[in-house]
Every structure is written in structure tokens, then in C-alpha cells.
Amino acid sequence: MRIFKFRHGSQKDFEALEQSYIWFSSLDGLNDPFEGCFYLDPEVSDEVLFKYHKNILAREPLSNISPADEVVKRFIDEEKKQVGGYKQWLIDHMTLPELEEELELLKKKYSVFSCSRAAEEHEHPSPLNRMALWGYYANGLRGFCVEYDEDILFSSIQELNSEMILGKSLINYSTDNLLPVVSLKDTLMDSIEGSAKTHAALLNAIRTKASSPWSVENELRFIAESPSKQVAHCKKAIKRLYIGSRMNQADKDRLLNYGRENGVELFEVMHSTQKKTYGYTFRKCLTTN
């Protein structure tokens, strides 16, 4: 598959290209403020609450009274004084803090390389032809875009960074504007049975974004169990370079030299006065002497 990474055009972007590495970022460092957000579904039966008390809370009584009495005392005391009752107290003071702590641990455990997968079979497919992405990520046509071969990039990262545990996943886009769901029932049952439904739900939250404005990116993530760092890949993973027409000439020449030396095709991306509609024209650059 063809995948694309838009670059701002900074000195570090050129160094990454020329030295054949990419950067894996922490989840905390990504640009979506709703990264990992979820809705906690509060529906849970009295039966599950009772099992939770019996199997979890009663193991660590808070005083010298019997575990059974301690559970009843806690339930009655909190039910009396809390708005929303005991279940709301359980959500606010136990479940949500635990979920937020687990989510923070997941964000620290994983780092990602985010890119855009070609959305259709086309010489210049979406998201490569999306105006917003050239504006957001390529400095308003002053930067550039790298096209990689997904399979070669992924396998070469594995070969050159054998210590990394690496996976990949497409982002899911919420078309109904609803957040991913974590269930209070599943969270309590995980504590009782040692299952991992909540962990899976939190991972799904990390892999889900709102359709607007993010779906235009058609985002693919390489996911590593490692902290943020630069990661080497082979040069053969790079197939094409796309140069924004507003890039300064010195930087254009630098990319043209790279293409000439490494056998990489280059295209200049520009808006055209010959078209009646918004959009880009792609002009192939000559890299021969």
C-alpha cells in the first residue's frame, strides 16, 4: 500500500529524509485534544455491584469490623450523603480515577508514527490531494510530502530495530460524533474475574477519532511499545517526494538532489489558474543532470 507523510519543511524534516529515519511520538504529544477520550457507560446491575463488593472491597476492609459489615456500612453511608447515590460515588471516586490512570499508562507505554494511507487507486490519491493537509502539515505548500511503500517501511523498521515490538492499525472514525464507550459493568467484572475488556476498550479509544475534521487523513499508525524516539528504515521504502510550490528554491534544490542521488521520483504540487475548481495540479520534476 502507498502511505504518505506530510512534512513542514524544517531542518529536522530534511535530516530525517536524508538519514533515513522517522520519528515515533508519544500519544501525549499528538495534536488531537480528544486523543483517548471515552464515554463511561454507567449501566450496571445490583447483582454485579454486589459481586464487586463481595470479591473486591471486602478483601481490604477499612476498619476492624467484619468485611461483610464494612461493605454494608460503606454502601449505606455513601448512599445517604452522595448526590446520585452510591453508584455515582463509585464512578467518581474509584472507577474513573482507575481508568484515567490506566489510560495514562497506555499513553506512556506506546509511541506512534502517524501517516496517511491512500484512500483509492489513483495516481495522486486522497489524502495526497487534500488541500487541508497541505495547509495543516506542510506549511501551506511550503513543505513536502514523502510517499512510502507501507510493507517495505514496516519490515525494514522491524529488521533495523529488532528490540522494538511493532504493530500497525488504521484509525476508526466516529461518523455519528459519539465517543468510544467504556462500560462500568466491564470494568467491575474485570476486577472480579481478571478479564481485560476494559483494557481493550481503552485501546479502542486510542484508535478512534471524530470523523470531522480528521477522516480526511485516512490515518494509519505504526505502534511501538517504546518511548518516543527516531527510528531507522531503509531508503528503498521511499518511493516519491511531493514538493509544495511555495517552498523556497534552496530547499527545492535540496530535494531534487536527493531524488537524483537516490532514484526517487519528484512532483511539484501547485494550484492551477487553468482550472475552475479548487484543487491541485501535480507536475513531475526532472531530476536528471
| 129 in a structural domain | yes
Ramachandran angles phi, psi of 152, nearest 5°: -65, -45
pLDDT tens string, the chain, 289 residues long: the values are 999 999 999 999 999 999 999 999 988 778 788 888 999 998 988 788 878 877 766 555 445 556 666 665 666 566 656 566 777 777 887 788 888 898 888 888 889 999 999 999 888 999 999 988 999 999 999 999 999 999 999 999 999 999 899 999 999 999 898 999 999 999 999 988 889 999 999 999 989 999 988 999 999 999 998 877 899 999 999 999 999 999 999 999 999 999 999 999 999 999 876 677 888 889 999 765 5
| 124 and 84 together in one domain | no
- In the chain, which ranges are continuous DSSP H helix? 11-19, 46-55, 67-81, 85-90, 96-109, 131-136, 150-160, 184-193, 197-206, 211-214, 249-262
Among residues 121, 253, 226, the alpha carbon closest in space to that of 164 is found at: 226
> How many residues appear in the chain?
289
pLDDT at 268: 96
| 119 and 258 together in one domain | yes
pLDDT at 287: 63
| 152 in a structural domain | yes
Dihedral of alpha carbons 90, 93, 94, 95, sign? positive
| 199 and 218 together in one domain | no
pLDDT at 156: 97
Q: Which of 204, 219, 253 is the last residue of a domain?
A: 204
pLDDT at 84: 66
| 200 and 215 together in one domain | no
| 247 in a structural domain | yes
| 171 and 189 together in one domain | no
**What pTM did the predictor assign?**
0.84
| 214 and 149 together in one domain | yes
pLDDT at 81: 62
| 289 in a structural domain | no
| 153 and 264 together in one domain | yes
pLDDT at 143: 97
| 227 and 145 together in one domain | yes
Task: Give the chain's domain count.
Answer: 2
| 43 and 185 together in one domain | yes
| 44 and 144 together in one domain | no
| 55 and 97 together in one domain | yes
| 252 in a structural domain | yes
Residue 95 sits in which domain range? 39-106+181-204
| 63 in a structural domain | yes
| 58 and 98 together in one domain | yes
Among residues 289, 275, 281, the alpha carbon closest in space to that of 129 is found at: 281
**Helix 46-55 crosses helix 67-81 at what angle (to 10 degrees)?**
130
Residues with Cβ < 8 Å from 104, sequence gap 6 or more? Answer: none
Residue type at 61?
Answer: P
